Structure formats: structure tokens, C-alpha cells
Amino acid sequence: MLDIKYIRENPDKVKQAAEEKGYGSTVVDKLLEAYERRLGLLSKVEEIRAKQNKITYEIKTEKSKGSLDKKLIAKASILKVELKELEPELNKAEKSYLDLMLQIPNPALKDVPKGKGEAENIELKVVGDKPKFKFKPKDHVELAEKLDIIDFKRAAKVVGSGYYFLKGDGAMLELALVQYGLKFLAERGFMPIITPDLARDRYYLGTGYQPKGPEAQTYRIEETDLGLIATAEVTLAGYHADETLLSEELPMKYAGYSHCFRREEGAYGKYSRGMYRVHQFSKVEMFAYCTPSDSQKIHEGLLHTEEEFWQSLKIPYRVLEMCTGDLGAQAVKKYDLEAWMPGRGDWGEITSTSNTTDFQARRLGIKTKINGETAYAHTLNGTLVATSRGPIAILENNQQEDGSVVVPKVLQPYMGKEKIEVIT
């Protein structure tokens, strides 16, 4: 959420920023109209309440003297009726104003490349060498089924498409990635934390995700305000909601582990096969709270941590900077890591990291005190590893001609083996 004062003073800048992100700019005009209407109604309601307070005092004074002017009672009744008529209007105007505020995206930083979508994202660098096979590489689905470590067919029978059972070394590989990932982050000053898999609507809205409507990714729990989280970013942002954090305690960095649930409706592209785009997976997520002056530095640090992790797994990857049209509502700047996936002969997204400045903190009431002055904190997030896409990169890049897969050296202590092989 942006500061309404900033929006009122810079409507053209906010409109331009919304257009650059692919959002319509007309919502800004609607917001300003709603703000003025709300302000006008609020002024009338406060004026009536002030008159009520005055008359209540006068009635008490009259009663204490043993007399009571009937005109005062009549005035009080009239004011009560007026207030009863205005308060629902004010509530409606307040809701309209807040709904429109939630539709204003966070403006991108000035140095973010302009563009309409992923085709205009900028490749910053490529790290690692793509494997050279003396045989035709298989994709992760064929590898996993022959190794008997993933079962898509029975999951489709039990739940539906977009789910899978992990078996044997498939289950152990996921747990190895999670344990290694949490230890990796703990050694770098992150507090490991296992979050709930549910959150109230307020925290989806607070982080910039829509729990309802055509863009919703959330599985809703009927007759409640709860939904299954699409990312631990939601619960980790809510962790310090309505708190004031001391600047000397910042940055606070968390390594969150959770299951993630996404509807992914209509996501049936050529790269949706297997584990790449599923409805449920697990993830180790980085989340940071910091002072406004530190957020850009912290953001670069999150990117560096992601790179260190994937370098330790010996997976070739590239770093992309997202253009304005591919940032989403929350981020002012965003980087993606894409791993080389031999099974498709192309790159595939494995992580992203975003700086959301004070956008989420304003919605969730997260503040900090700097030299005695109160300001909104900045929040940032970044995926270390998603246990759906991470194994794709590991299986496909480390496959052998006989169908086995070499386990990355850093994961071998957690797996208890050097290779995943067909059990005969």
C-alpha cells in the first residue's frame, strides 16, 4: 500500500508507474474521488458527533439543576437519526477507498528496465557449465518414473492432476534439500522457522496477494477467512504485523519452511509437465525486515545467497532482472534465477527475490524506530529452494547414461548415498 499523501501529491507519477507495471491508471482517479468522498462524509460524521457531545453535556447539566429543556431532547433525536443515515454511507465509502488503495501497485525503482512482460527481462549473467551428455538426456518425469521415486499416476487417482507422491529416494531428496537449505541459511544469520500452512485474508491482502477474484491462487477454507498459503512470505510478513521493531534489532532475517498450495488454473504451457507447475510443494523461503536505507543492500544480499546455494549444488543457472511489466504489484525490483534443465533444453525458473520496500509494511502496520522517529519498515523475500523445481534441476543435470542420478556432494550426508539408482 502506498502513502495516500504521496498519491495525492504525485498522481501523474503513480499513474505512469501503474501503466509501466501493466495496471490501468484509471484506478488512481477513482481512488482520489473515493478519498474525497470519504473525507467529506467523515467530516460530516465528526461534526454531528461533536454536536451530540455538546448536547449530551448540556442535558446532563440541565438534569443536575433539576430541569430539562425538551428542545435539547428533540435536537439529540434529530442528530441520532442523521448519524444513523450517514454512518452506513461512511462505511461504504471507507470500504471503497480501501479496496481501491489495494489496487495501486508499488512503483518500480528508476533503474528497473522498462518492458511489458517476461520476453523483455534482462539476462545479467550465466554461471556454471551446461552438462555435455554422450546420450540423449531424459526429462525428470522419465528419470523419476524409471527410478521409482515419484508417482504421478496414483496421485492423479487420489487427488487429481498437478500432484505427486514422492517415494524412497525422492522423499529423501526433498528432505535433504530442506535440511541442507535451512542449515545453509542458519549459518548466514537467518532464523529457521516453520510456519503455519494457513493464513487469514488480511495477510494475503497485506502481502499483495488476492485471496479472491480471477487472479487468486488461494485455496479457500469454506465459512472462514482462512486460505492455504501459496508461499511462506505471507505468514512471515504477518509474523511481526502491528509491531514496532527497534532499528538496532534490524535486519531480522528468517528462513521459513512451509508447504505451498497454488491453484495454477489455466497454467498448461509446454513447460508445465511433471513437477514444474504443481498445486502443492514445499519451499525454504528467505524473508527480511530492515530499515528503509538498507533494503537495496539487503536485496542484493538475498540474491547473493541464492547464487551461493545453487553454486554449492553445482547447478548451472542464469540471473535475470525483471522488467517493469513482470514485477507484479508488490516488488519495486526483482531478480529470478533460472536453472538449465536438459530435459527441456532450456532454462527454467527456480528462485526469485523481491524488494517490496514499505508496501507490505504499510498494509500490515509494521514500523520501526530510527533515532526516535517512527517509520514503516521495509520487507524483502527470496526463495532459496522449492522442492518441486529444485529436484528437476538436480535429476536432469546429474543423470547418467544408465539412468542413475549422481547426488550433489553437499546433499550426500543427508541422503546417505552418492547415487540414486534403479533398485533391481
Domain-located, residue 111: no
Q: Give residue 424's pLDDT.
A: 65
Confidence check: pLDDT of 269 > 70 = no
Q: Give residue 152's pLDDT.
A: 95
Give pLDDT tens digits for 149-189.
999 999 999 999 999 999 999 999 999 999 999 999 999 99
Confidence of residue 215 (pLDDT cuts 50, 70, 90): low
Q: What is the mean pLDDT of residues 408-418?
A: 97
Domain-located, residue 107: no
Final residue belonging to a domain, choices 49, 69, 101: 101
Q: Give residue 172's pLDDT.
A: 98
Q: Give residue 73's pLDDT.
A: 85
Q: What is the mean pLDDT of residues 234-253?
A: 96
Domain-located, residue 176: yes
CATH number at residue 73: 1.10.287.40
Same-domain pairing of 97 and 143:
no
Q: The pTM is what? A: 0.91
What mean pLDDT is reported for the chain?
93
Q: Give residue 56's pLDDT.
A: 87
Alpha-carbon distance of 217 to 281, in angstroms, equals 14
Q: Which of 237, 352, 357 is nearest to 294 (CA)?
A: 357
Give pLDDT tens digits for 116-150.
999 999 999 999 999 999 999 999 999 999 999 99
Q: Give residue 422's pLDDT.
A: 84
What amino acid positions are annotated as catalytic residues?
A: 262, 277, 349, 352, 389
Alpha-carbon distance of 394 to 84, in angstroms, equals 64
Same-domain pairing of 252 and 354:
yes
Same-domain pairing of 94 and 123:
no
Domain-located, residue 195: yes
Final residue belonging to a domain, choices 67, 101, 135: 101
Q: What is the mean pLDDT of residues 217-237?
A: 92
Q: What is the span of the domain harbouring residue 20? A: 4-101
Alpha-carbon distance of 268 to 364, in angstroms, equals 34
Same-domain pairing of 206 and 133:
yes
Backbone angles phi, psi at 84, to 5 degrees: -65, -30
Same-domain pairing of 173 and 314:
yes
Q: Give residue 211's pLDDT.
A: 56
Q: How many domains does the chain have?
A: 2
Confidence check: pLDDT of 283 > 70 = yes
Same-domain pairing of 94 and 154:
no
Domain-located, residue 385: yes
Give pLDDT tens digits for 353-375.
999 999 999 999 999 998 889 99
Same-domain pairing of 95 and 139:
no
Domain-located, residue 113: no
Same-domain pairing of 14 and 127:
no
Same-domain pairing of 182 and 300:
yes
Domain-located, residue 108: no
Same-domain pairing of 10 and 124:
no
Domain-located, residue 401: yes
Final residue belonging to a domain, choices 101, 132, 165: 101
Confidence check: pLDDT of 268 > 80 = no
Confidence of residue 96 (pLDDT cuts 50, 70, 90): very high
CATH number at residue 192: 3.30.930.10
Same-domain pairing of 405 and 340:
yes
Same-domain pairing of 96 and 126:
no
Q: What is the mean pLDDT of residues 401-412?
A: 97
